């Protein structure tokens, strides 16, 4: 049985940067807080806790001795305004690619254009982007949402949540092109996302089983599972090695492994080691059974 890791898997630069920043602030300052979990992965949240980094839900919870770290997902303009008005010190670890989307949305909004965001309306990144339009933009999760858009006069600008699949973006933008002429598209899906998705698709096409490592709350991990499933490959998403099931490997010759951009390297390594262990155990059992027959 072969075990292959996707050529792009695990932490992206934006997530790594946010984690390093939070860790440094926690170490230097003694205490740091993030508005919402730093990434959608409890293992990372637990890891940072030992460096004094805790998760809070709102600015109102910030204590005078705490520094706020803005996570890679980014926040809306109102959050920056609130932090400044309340003299709360903060360190901005928003991913530069997400910041670029904020700039596009903000500029379009100031120019009286209607901003459409291809993404999940409940995801914090999308809430943040929407915040740069004073919540006046519209979120399109699937082509069905296009029918429900109100009549739009004037120019339209379309951006994407950075972790969208290329397929969803293409489907939605094709529909929008048919409906509107005064429309400009900015495909803001980040390279780390598309690289991980393309690598997962390539690998899924070659193997019998795919294992995707990452939290079920992580948008980009869920998208990896989605694209692997679309290749018709049996795909299992797990959060850590304890979720692995040896039965998934039985009768299969090739296993592919990938991980979301918010999945720590050490979790991925543990999963690979555990799959290798299971593989060796299966070889041992097979050898014993063959011995019995002889």
Contact segment (CB under 6 A) with ligand F3S among 47-55, 93-101, 105-113, 151-159 equals: 93-101
The binder of ligand F3S chosen from 9, 95, 159, 209 (CB under 6 A): 95
Q: Which stretch binds ligand F3S (CB under 6 A): 2-10, 90-98, 134-142, 283-291?
A: 90-98
Nearer to ligand F3S, 12 or 257 (CB): 12
Residue nearest ligand F3S (C-beta atom): 14
CA dihedral 9, 250, 237, 14 (to 10 degrees): -10
The answer to whether 164 and 223 have CB atoms below 8 angstroms apart is yes
Query: Does the footprint of ligand F3S cover residue 29 (CB under 6 A)?
Result: no
- Residue (103 or 136) nearer to ligand F3S, CB: 103
Q: Which string of x and - marks every residue 172-191 that binds ligand F3S (by CB under 6 A)?
A: ------------------x-
Phi/psi-derived region of residue 54, left when phi > 0, alpha when psi is between -120 and 50, beta in every other case: beta
Q: Which residues ranging from 9 to 28 are in contact with ligand F3S (CB under 6 A)?
A: 12-15
Does residue 125 have an active-site annotation? yes
For helices 124-131 and 77-85, give the axis angle rounded to 10 degrees.
80
Catalytic residue among 125, 127, 239, 270: 125
Q: Which is nearer to ligand F3S, 11 or 248 (CB)?
A: 11
DSSP-derived 3-state class of residue 125: helix
Which position among 21, 41, 133, 162 is part of the footprint of ligand F3S (CB under 6 A)? 162
Q: Is the dihedral of CA 32, 37, 38, 43 positive or negative?
A: positive
In three-state secondary structure terms, 160 is strand
Q: Which of 276, 114, 127 is closest to 180 using CA atoms? A: 114
Could you give the dihedral angle defined by the CA atoms of residues 21, 215, 277 and 279, in that order, rounded to the nearest 10 degrees? Answer: -140
Q: Which residues between 189 and 248 bind ligand F3S (CB under 6 A)?
A: 190, 192-193, 220
Q: Are 231 and 204 in contact (CB under 8 A)?
A: yes
Question: Which residues are catalytically annotated?
Answer: 125
């Amino acid at each position: 049985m072969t075990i292959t890791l996707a050529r792009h898997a695990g932490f992206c630069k934006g997530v790594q940067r946010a984690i390093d920043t939070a860790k440094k602030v926690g170490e230097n300052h003694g205490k740091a807080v993030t508005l919402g979990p730093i990434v959608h992965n409890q293992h990372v949240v637990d890891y940072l806790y030992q460096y004094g980094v805790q998760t809070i839900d709102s600015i109102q919870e910030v204590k005078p001795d705490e520094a706020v770290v803005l996570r890679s997902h980014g926040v809306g303009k109102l959050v920056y305004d609130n932090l400044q008005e309340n003299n709360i010190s903060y360190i901005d670890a928003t991913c530069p690619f997400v910041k670029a989307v904020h700039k596009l949305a903000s500029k379009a909004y100031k120019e009286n254009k209607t901003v459409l965001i291809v993404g999940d309306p409940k995801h914090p990144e999308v809430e943040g982007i929407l915040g740069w339009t004073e919540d006046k933009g519209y979120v399109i999760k699937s082509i069905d949402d296009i029918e429900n858009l109100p009549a739009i006069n004037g120019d339209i600008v379309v951006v994407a949540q950075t972790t969208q699949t290329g397929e969803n973006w293409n489907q939605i933008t094709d529909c929008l092109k048919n409906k509107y002429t005064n429309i400009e598209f900015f495909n803001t899906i980040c390279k780390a996302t598309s690289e991980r998705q393309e690598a997962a698709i390539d690998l899924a096409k070659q193997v019998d089983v795919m294992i995707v490592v990452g939290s079920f709350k992580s948008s980009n991990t869920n998208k990896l599972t989605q694209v692997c499933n679309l290749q018709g490959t049996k795909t299992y998403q797990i959060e850590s090695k304890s979720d692995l099931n040896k039965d998934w490997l039985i009768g299969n010759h090739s296993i592919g492994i990938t991980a979301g951009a918010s999945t720590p390297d050490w979790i991925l390594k543990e999963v690979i080691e555990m799959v290798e262990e299971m593989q060796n155990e299966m070889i041992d059992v097979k050898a014993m059974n063959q011995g019995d027959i002889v």
